[in-house]
Amino acid sequence: MDTPAVDDRKRVLLVDDMKINLMVLAAKLKKFNYSCEVADSGAHALEIIPAFKPDILLTDLWMPEMNGDVLAHKVRAIPEYNQLPIFAVTADLDNPAGFDMTVFSGILQKPIDDACLQELLSSASPRLQ
């Protein structure tokens, strides 16, 4: 009997209220051989997390229903995800004032450079071992 194929790729959850940003980032992650799920709001992300079990979370900062830092705090409040690598993705050129950046593992600046993205994902991966 065949054993079901196991997807051992790292799972990345993307959160952004702009569909196009999700499409672009998801396509890039697929190219880099990550398994990817998308959520268009913080609330949607919190729904997805129990089933998807992300290894990494990338979230936009400015979102209408729930800001990225609020989402990150909510995720960290879940005991099994309190060490989850969570990265803010932002086009803000300044230090993103008004957000609690201490909750994030790092920041990914838009426009997203492929090399930076890979470096960031790799930096998160050792923590997953």
Partner 1 sequence: MDERKVERKFFHDLLNLASSMRGITEIIRDEDEKSRSEMLLLMGNISESMIETINAQRHYRSMEAKDLTLRPALVDCEKLLKRITESYNRHTLCQHKTIEIRPSEQPPRQAPICLFTDKDLLQGALGYGIRTALETINNGQAVTLSLITEETVEPPSVVFLISFPGTVSEEEKDTIFKNSETDTHAMTGLSAYLFYTLITRYLQGSANWTTHDGSIQLSARFQQPVEAH
> Is residue 4 within the footprint of partner 1 (CB under 8 A)?
no
Cβ contact 112:119 at 8 Å: no
Label the pairing between strands 86-90 and 106-109. parallel
Helix boundaries (H) for 1-113: 19-31, 42-52, 68-76
Could you tell me the smallest distance in angstroms from the CB atom of residue 128 to partner 1? 25
Could you tell me the smallest distance in angstroms from the CB atom of residue 86 to partner 1? 20
> Is residue 62 within the footprint of partner 1 (CB under 8 A)?
yes
**Binding footprint of partner 1 on the chain (CB under 8 A):** 17-21, 23-25, 27-28, 31, 40-41, 62-65, 67, 90-94, 98, 110-112, 114
